Structure 1
């Protein structure tokens, strides 16, 4: 794989140390119980009542494989998948879903066709899928058309499934600030008007950081890309002494709950899990959320191709997508999933209808991940 893929592995090193999925996936074992509720008492429409289309029924009934192997990072995101997708799939088909830990670069090598596939799919990113499409030795298999997710960019719909949107957004403990408290990214960077430390990702992680800095400078959400890295880093340096760095996502939560920081920046699933544990957390949704899609990528030579193709289609059922979204607070990949949940549930999600967001330029991010990592090294060295 090229330098783009190598730098993405650095990002995934942080995720792996935290026991989380790519792009920030919830929490460690102590908060595992949080994945089932946000304390609101609302529930999605019963996923078990999802009707099978003739196309889906044909795929499910036609499976001859006995298992399907999925590479992932564990944590509460995998627990939510198990509840919303894996267990119902096994109950419906009798096919066992095997969860495999992602070591080193193995997932990328299998996706590129460089080594024989041991898994059928793994939790990756749109950028990894793009790299494999452009540079892999074998073409990526397309999922069945009924598995396409209409809120995912069209060019990735054939290659990603069980997708969801992570939002990078700050949070604070209730009562930290008087009145409404900080409302904008400019406020996040204003430690005089809103005193207190801010948690920030360490040198191995780039998603969302430059976007946040540019939003603080007044750049419009739809003009963030291409990122002006030098300008963004200059803004980050203005509060460098007020930043507390983390290299595992649970640290970002600990910095917040211990009041080490007044504002903690990271993936929104972390704040959902704290709320599920009864901790009063204000997610600062008025600070424009920075979105990134995550999802499953199917291996070119998946050992159980019939099962993984059927599983991809099974996961596209709106009721199941809605259940996963409510469990994790990650945004669903289809418009129909929003119709399968209550208005209160929908309004709490990163890509809720009507919410202003920074939509990712996946190609730019994939092409420039190495440049972003190099900029991080320079930023932290200084």
Structure 2
């Protein structure tokens, strides 16, 4: 997820050993009335070690899911102590490397931040893919970052607002006659304007979105602007607006909807034409515990840890083998599951990395105009 304010600016044998760790028996431990977490009965010896690894995380429910899925099991299984520290913005990571005072070994990041550091210079360690399971798809593997979950930027709506048909596309979101009521959309903050949604509402096919026509997107925004009651900055605001009946539809990150739906509030996600996005791990250049960092990253993308994470929070695995440990009802709400991911549009990190400043400046001028 975009949390990095950067606009201011084979060892085939090792792989087979790791894969072998998944085929043996695993333990199911209850974590409450509604879910269970699979447990890794053994861990490959190549991932064991000593010392510590310092991991930067963003806190909140996401960090709690990481604790259950990755941090505690990794520490218990490998003997490597996990120290959690608050995640800095990516500019501070850059400054740490430049000063030589690197206080982190693993940073929760995304491809936008990684691209910024790669463009700036030699600030990252290459990922050691000799340790990473073959089940992690090519899409999620990058030279200096390994994705560890998939989330989606989607439309959410109140099911009690529409008696006949439910909105099924961004054209429907824009259609305030057929689907009346106020809307909420992302405005200005640390993220990116939702230009893709505006273009699809105007009839641009998902496969023809990139390169984005920024001016065309702003023209499409003109048609919905009067119906947008709130341009939210924080994801929690979008959910609150929906829960309080201030809007009938909003853009939202899928993980934010779980708590609302668990409370029985009448709301649903439209997956069609949502954006599939990913978060990953990176290792700052010169990290003091580089070896342990690579072991942790490899562990977190093993099938069972991936399944644990997907059961703790509704973000999808990057390891295809994780799906075998997930029940059908859970797969039905995960962005990387086969049935949902085919409805989503892959977010183009390369385009946004190259065009972010210009696109945001044009959107801000339009929004404030």
Q: Same fold (TM over 0.5)?
A: yes
Contact 2:302 2:319 in 1 (8 A): no
Kindly report which structure 2 residues correspond to 1:277-292, keeping only aligned pairs within 5 A, or say none. Answer: 277-285=263-271, 287-292=272-277
Q: Give the number of equivalent residue pairs.
A: 342
- The aligned residue for residue 379 of structure 1 is 366
- The aligned residue for residue 64 of structure 1 is 50
Contact 1:64 1:306 in 2 (8 A): no
Describe the SS at the equivalent of 1:153: helix
What are the superposed Cα offsets for residues 332-355 of structure 1, whole Å, 9 maximum, x if unpaired? 112112233223322321122142
User: Is residue 287 of structure 2 the alignment partner of residue 302 of structure 1?
Assistant: yes
Describe the SS at the equivalent of 1:371: helix
- The aligned residue for residue 33 of structure 1 is none
Supply the distance in 1 between the matched residues of 2:98 and 2:364 (Cα, whole angstroms): 31
CA RMSD in angstroms comes to: 2.6
What are the superposed Cα offsets for residues 17-55 of structure 1, whole Å, 9 maximum, x if unpaired? xxxxxxxxxxxxxxxxxxx78x9x4546x1334x53xxx
Provide TM-score, normalisation by structure 1.
0.81
User: Is residue 232 of structure 2 the alignment partner of residue 246 of structure 1?
Assistant: yes
Contact 1:71 1:107 in 2 (8 A): no
How many Å apart are 1:313 and its aligned residue? 1.4
Match of 1:217 among 183, 202, 216: 202
**Structure 1 unaligned regions, length at least 5:** 13-35
Supply the distance in 2 between the matched residues of 1:208 and 1:163 (Cα, whole angstroms): 24
Describe the SS at the equivalent of 2:40: helix
- The aligned residue for residue 364 of structure 1 is 351
- The aligned residue for residue 25 of structure 2 is none
User: Is residue 328 of structure 2 the alignment partner of residue 338 of structure 1?
Assistant: no
Supply the distance in 2 between the matched residues of 1:146 and 1:318 (Cα, whole angstroms): 13
- The aligned residue for residue 188 of structure 1 is 173
Q: Mark the CA change 1:159 to 1:213 in structure 2 (over 3 Å): closer, same or farther.
A: same
- The aligned residue for residue 350 of structure 1 is 335
Supply the distance in 1 between the matched residues of 2:201 and 2:99 (Cα, whole angstroms): 42
Supply the distance in 1 between the matched residues of 2:275 and 2:193 (Cα, whole angstroms): 6
Supply the distance in 2 between the matched residues of 1:234 and 1:108 (Cα, whole angstroms): 38
What are the superposed Cα offsets for residues 72-127 of structure 1, whole Å, 9 maximum, x if unpaired? 21111110000011010111133332221234445441586565321111111112
Q: Mark the CA change 1:137 to 1:205 in structure 2 (over 3 Å): closer, same or farther.
A: closer
How many Å apart are 1:378 and its aligned residue? 1.1
Q: Mark the CA change 1:105 to 1:308 in structure 2 (over 3 Å): closer, same or farther.
A: closer
Supply the distance in 2 between the matched residues of 1:315 and 1:59 (Cα, whole angstroms): 11
Match of 1:92 among 77, 81, 96: 77
Q: Which has the higher strand share?
A: 2
Contact 1:146 1:316 in 2 (8 A): no
User: Is residue 112 of structure 2 the alignment partner of residue 127 of structure 1?
Assistant: yes
How many Å apart are 1:174 and its aligned residue? 2.8
User: Is residue 305 of structure 2 the alignment partner of residue 317 of structure 1?
Assistant: no
Supply the distance in 1 between the matched residues of 2:193 and 2:303 (Cα, whole angstroms): 28
Provide TM-score, normalisation by structure 2.
0.84
**Structure 2 unaligned regions, length at least 5:** 9-30
Farther off after superposition, 144-153 or 240-249: 144-153
- The aligned residue for residue 9 of structure 1 is 5
Q: Mark the CA change 1:147 to 1:113 in structure 2 (over 3 Å): closer, same or farther.
A: farther
Supply the distance in 2 between the matched residues of 1:174 and 1:293 (Cα, whole angstroms): 28
